[in-house]
């Protein structure tokens, strides 16, 4: 069986502002500079600017209260960084440099707009907004503040998550589409509708009051979870994973735990992230090729993270005695793998039992895919393939085709397995996953 997330096997998705834009400006201020670069040094610089730009954007939206203005200012700052840092060197505090440069640009843009309407005073207020909302909680992290503001109940949960991932977490429209299992075109339309709704309803970019946090928590958790998944197994590009996104997701989840202590979903999500990421050092070989769970060197797993994750699973179960929590249950499945001394020693009966529980609260095609793989390990490939045949809605999901190919290969149905591998290879995925599938296909066909 593969993990309940997308890296070693399938992946779940919990489907559960608008401002001024310059003509021709890209949809997101940091994605414009994220195209692959043939020069490794510049590519590393681009990644640095992109990763720091997420946090700078969040800070600037808090300062200005205007997403469009903040995006334009951060775009200018990132362009200036890429033009000057190769020549002058990366500053000691890259984020501080970007924040100061973007803030100055925002002031220039705000004054220009205000002057056109004779509202210079408004520009001053915009960049130094009053803080008189006594009901707002103390959310000390700008990115987490903005995730909460994007997850406004006026939007449905999929739109909340899409907007937060796209705007604040730096994922491209295609990556957000992969995360939510929809096409890039569909996701682009969804994002446009979400921004239009925010504009029409004049929804403010502010931190919600304490009593508003629970109704936004589902969208916030889904956003952080999918951010983790994208980092755990990149949906495209040359790198098999994006460690900065994994670390950011864990950091945000820990902050959520401080903001809402004892919340079962937060405990479960943090446990799931820690247990999955405990395998980081063993998941790829020195050449970056995936090492599947059965073949991983478990001595390289991070035992400290496993220990913390297992404790959190227990606490999450105690905090949700009456109704299973999806994140806690997924973490319990991950704990079954983390505590097994070897692949053959995995308690597949327990894994399958937890999947049955998960289906009562999160019955999605990807959960059913993962359950089918567990059935195959417990009852044989034929039984797993029968379960997999009943799963619908995953034609565009490469892990589903790969799982089917593996089971067909076990049964000696080589031609069908080869066709399933070929179907997986036709779908978007990162270079390491694609190379792994080619190797499996070559081993099967002898070519």
Is 427 within 8 Å of 34 (Cβ atoms)? no
* Structure confidence at residue 8 as a pLDDT band (50, 70, 90): very low
The stretch 337-353 carries a mean pLDDT of 96
Q: Give domain status of residue 32, yes or no.
A: no
Is 224 within 8 Å of 147 (Cβ atoms)? yes
Q: Which pLDDT value is given to residue 205?
A: 64
Residue 423: phi and psi, rounded to 5, are -65, -40
Q: Give domain status of residue 376, yes or no.
A: yes
User: Which domain range does residue 406 map to?
Assistant: 363-447
CATH of the domain at 404: 1.25.40.10
Question: With 90 as the cut, is the pLDDT of residue 359 above it?
Answer: yes
Q: Give domain status of residue 426, yes or no.
A: yes
Q: Give domain status of residue 130, yes or no.
A: no
Q: Which pLDDT value is given to residue 40?
A: 55
Q: Which pLDDT value is given to residue 41?
A: 61
* Structure confidence at residue 325 as a pLDDT band (50, 70, 90): very high
* Structure confidence at residue 213 as a pLDDT band (50, 70, 90): confident
Question: With 80 as the cut, is the pLDDT of residue 45 above it?
Answer: no
Average pLDDT, the chain: 82
Q: Give domain status of residue 286, yes or no.
A: no
Q: Give domain status of residue 243, yes or no.
A: no
Considering its fold, how many domains does the chain have in total?
Answer: 1
**Lowest mean pLDDT: which of 34-48, 250-264, 345-359?**
34-48
Q: Give domain status of residue 404, yes or no.
A: yes
355 or 170, higher pLDDT: 355
265 or 428, higher pLDDT: 265
104 or 200, higher pLDDT: 104
Q: Give domain status of residue 276, yes or no.
A: no
């Amino acid at each position: 069986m593969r993990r309940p997330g997308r890296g070693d096997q399938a992946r779940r998705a919990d489907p559960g502002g608008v401002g001024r834009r310059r003509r021709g400006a890209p949809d997101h201020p940091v994605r414009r500079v994220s195209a692959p670069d043939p020069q490794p040094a510049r590519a590393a610089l681009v990644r640095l600017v992109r990763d720091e730009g997420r946090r700078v954007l969040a800070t600037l939206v808090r300062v200005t209260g205007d997403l469009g203005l903040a995006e334009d200012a951060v775009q200018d700052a990132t362009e200036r960084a890429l033009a000057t840092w190769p020549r002058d060197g990366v500053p000691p505090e890259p984020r501080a440099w970007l924040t100061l440069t973007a803030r100055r640009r925002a002031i220039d843009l705000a004054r220009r707009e205000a002057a056109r309407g004779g509202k210079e005073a408004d520009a001053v207020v915009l960049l130094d907004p009053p803080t008189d909302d006594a009901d707002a909680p103390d959310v000390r992290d700008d990115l987490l503040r903005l995730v909460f503001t994007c997850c406004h109940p006026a939007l449905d949960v999929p739109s909340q998550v899409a907007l937060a991932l796209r705007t604040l977490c730096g994922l491209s429209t295609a990556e957000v589409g992969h995360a939510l299992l929809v096409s890039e075109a569909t996701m682009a339309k969804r994002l446009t509708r979400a921004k239009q709704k925010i504009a029409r309803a004049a929804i403010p970019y502010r931190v919600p009051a304490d009593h508003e946090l629970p109704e936004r928590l589902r969208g916030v958790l889904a956003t952080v979870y999918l951010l983790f998944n994208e980092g755990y197994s990149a949906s495209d590009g040359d790198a098999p994973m994006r460690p900065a996104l994994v670390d950011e997701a864990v950091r945000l989840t820990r902050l959520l735990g401080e903001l809402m202590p004892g919340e079962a979903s937060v405990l479960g999500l943090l446990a799931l992230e820690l247990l999955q990421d405990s395998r980081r050092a063993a998941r790829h070989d020195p050449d970056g090729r995936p090492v599947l769970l059965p073949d991983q060197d478990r001595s390289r797993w991070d035992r400290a993270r496993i220990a913390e994750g297992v404790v959190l699973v227990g606490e999450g179960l105690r905090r949700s005695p009456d109704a299973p929590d999806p994140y806690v249950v997924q973490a319990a499945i991950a704990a079954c793998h983390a505590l097994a001394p070897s692949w053959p020693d995995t308690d597949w009966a327990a894994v399958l039992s937890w999947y049955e529980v998960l289906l009562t609260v999160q019955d999605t095609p990807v959960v059913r895919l993962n359950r089918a793989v567990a059935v195959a390990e417990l009852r044989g490939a034929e039984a797993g393939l029968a379960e997999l045949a009943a799963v619908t809605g995953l034609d565009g999901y490469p892990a589903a085709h790969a799982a089917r190919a593996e089971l067909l290969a076990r049964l000696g149905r080589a031609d069908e397995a080869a066709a399933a591998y070929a179907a997986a290879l036709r779908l978007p995925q990162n270079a390491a996953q694609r190379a792994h599938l080619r190797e499996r296909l070559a081993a099967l066909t002898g070519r």
